[in-house]
Amino acid sequence: MPAIHLKISGKENPALAKELVQTISNLTKDILNKKPEVTVVTVSFIPDYLWFINSQSLAELGKNSFNLTIKISDSTNLKEDKARFIEALHTTLAAKLDNLHPVSYTAIEEMKADAYGYDGLTIEYKIIQNKILKA
């Protein structure tokens, strides 16, 4: 199901990472209806002097930023769900990260069910298997 990667500007901060992972996981469950038990989140910290917007580093700008990519199964959410997720994520992270630059991105990548999976099985296979078990 969801594979999420969060990049945050600044120095490594495990406590902040844990807090943001919990927040992101909750938004993923509540808005996109994804199962927490198969949601994976990785976090990377990028020094502000190595993060550039319009050729200026965040260190020069005195700002923070994030870039979040979430991979979900294709066609499992409505456009409205995805828009709400992006808005809620940005609003929530803006409250948790000081001085957030507006150019902080969220990307939802929709993966085809026959080309995405976990536990060595595609999502498509898992969907078919669940239908067979329910029959």
Q: What confidence tens digit (pLDDT) does each residue in 25-56 have?
A: 999 999 999 999 999 999 999 999 999 999 99
Nearest to 12 by CA among 43, 41, 40, 42: 43
Domain count of the fold of the chain: 1
CATH code at 68? Answer: 3.30.429.10
- Domain hosting 52: range is 3-134
Nearest to 3 by CA among 105, 69, 71, 68: 71
In which band, very low, low, confident or very high, does the pLDDT at 9 lie, cut at 50, 70 and 90?
Answer: very high
What is the reported pLDDT for 23?
97
What is the reported pLDDT for 127?
85
Is residue 62 within 8 Å of residue 99, measured between CB atoms?
A: yes
Look up the pTM and report it.
Answer: 0.92
In which band, very low, low, confident or very high, does the pLDDT at 84 lie, cut at 50, 70 and 90?
Answer: very high
Rounded Cα gap, residues 68 and 74, in angstroms: 18
What is the reported pLDDT for 133?
84
